[in-house]
Amino acid sequence: MASRVVLHVGLMKSGTSYLQRRLDANRTLLAERGVLLPGERWRDQMLAVSDVLGRKQLLDKSAGRWAALIDEVVAHDGPAIVSMEFLGPATPDSIARVVGSLAPATVEVVVTLRDLGRTVPAMWQESLQNGGVVPWAEYVGQLAGARRPARAFWRQQGMGRIAGNWVAEVGPERVALVTVPPAGAEPGLLWERFCDAAGLEARDAAPVEPANTSLDAASAVLLRELNLRLRDDDLPTGEYHRLVKFGLGKRALAGRGGAPIGFEPSAWLVQRAGEIEGRLRATGARVVGDLAELAPVAVPGIDPETVPVDERLRAEVEELRDVVLQGRRSQPG
């Protein structure tokens, strides 16, 4: 059995994709140094975590995957690493089940955290890439409330609650909080912090190019309009993910280089961030980086509400809708 299992539990939009890609790209190096990255590729970890958490969205593909991952961990003599942000907001009961299934290995937890100033626009984009239709101003305005989208946002970004739940299960001495460096920081600094938190001797691991999955303001507005037009087309979730979320949202539209989404954190968000910082300090978990980096920062860019939904945009949306529906019809079976 692996003597030590490191669970990197997110949070969402905290550099997880970058860290997962760098881990995946350095499997051979990690193996040479005695570190197991279970699965043949990162997707195997995603399916395994979906299995143990009972996520219904992937039930047909994930059944039995956590048991298979455990088998790998049991057969390995050395540390192992699992990185999947679905774990972050898991319920205390689910956390206990995950940790218990890894016994008698020592479970250590790494939580990556990003300031809310940069996180709010990123989470709105993520909501759009999952079929959301809430306008930008309404999304921001509702975050202080208790209704959706606030409920969904804070489920994923409730840093104090999430860190506290994991600390309650494994103890503060086995939890490390890693802050995402501010914009303009030295490339690779997040990886160095992650290696420190996870106890990895891998700072020299081959770098990977940052994946630009951000939507510019115009692309975000276009995607929202497309989602509005697809609502009556009965597109199953799996097909939406394949054709729209990944085919368009994370590939064709992401990183196009237009004016980014600008955001100026409000006073209540700054206050909430201060309260969260206090809760994080109270957990007693080790901090790698600086919790002061979680103070919300202004994000330069434009207000998506100023992007006109004119006839040209409407025509582009209708063309994209046709492409999506044709892609659906072209699938066998």
Cα 48 to the chain's mean position, in Å? 16
Closest CA to 217 of 114, 121, 323, 143: 121
- Give the pair of three-digit tokens for residue 300: 């330069």
Measure the CA dihedral 80/250/221/156, to 10°.
Answer: -10
Of 13-22, 241-250, 258-267, 321-330, the range with the lowest mean pLDDT is: 321-330
In this predicted structure, what is the pLDDT of residue 333?
43
Q: Which segments within the chain are labelled E, that is strand?
A: 4-8, 80-83, 106-113, 175-179, 286-288
- Would you say 269 and 150 are in contact if contact means Cβ atoms under 8 Å apart? no
Is 215's pLDDT higher than 50?
yes
How many H helices and E strands in the chain? 15, 5
- For the ranges 33-37, 117-121, 227-231, the lowest mean pLDDT is seen at 227-231
The DSSP call for residue 236 is -
What is the value of pTM for the model shown? 0.93
Q: How far apart are CA 299 and CA 49, in angstroms?
A: 33
Rounded CA-CA distance 117/73 in Å is: 38
User: How far is residue 21's CA from residue 14's CA, in Å, rounded to a whole number?
Assistant: 13
Of the pLDDT bands very low, low, confident and very high (cuts 50, 70, 90), residue 176 is very high
Distances (CA, A) of 121 to 178, 205, 246: 21, 30, 19
The span from the CA of 10 to the CA of 109, in Å, is 10
pLDDT for 329 beyond 80: no
Look at residue 330 and tell me whether its pLDDT is greater than 80: no
Average pLDDT, the chain: 92
- Ordered DSSP codes for 275-315: HHHHHHHHTT-EEES-GGGGS---B-SB-GGGS---HHHHH
Cα gap 295→267, rounded to integer Å: 12
Q: Is the pLDDT of residue 51 over 50?
A: yes
3-state SS, residue 140: helix
Q: How confident is the model at residue 238 (pLDDT cuts 50, 70, 90)?
A: confident
| Band (332; pLDDT cuts 50, 70, 90) | very low
Nearest to 26 by CA among 330, 264, 18, 92: 18
171 class by beta-carbon count within 10 Å (0-12 exposed, 13-18 middle, 19+ buried): middle
Q: What average pLDDT score do residues 11-32 get? A: 96
- 303 and 188 Cβ atoms separated by less than 8 Å: no
> In residues, how long is the chain?
333
User: 194 with 113: CB under 8 angstroms?
Assistant: no
CA distance 56 to 266: 36
Q: What percent of the chain has pLDDT over 70?
A: 98
Distance CA 299, CA 327 (A): 36
CA 246 – CA 236 distance, rounded (Å)? 14
List, in order of start, the domains of the chain with CATH numbers: 4-115+157-211+265-294 (3.40.50.300), 217-259+303-329 (no CATH)
Amino acid (one-letter) located at 277: E
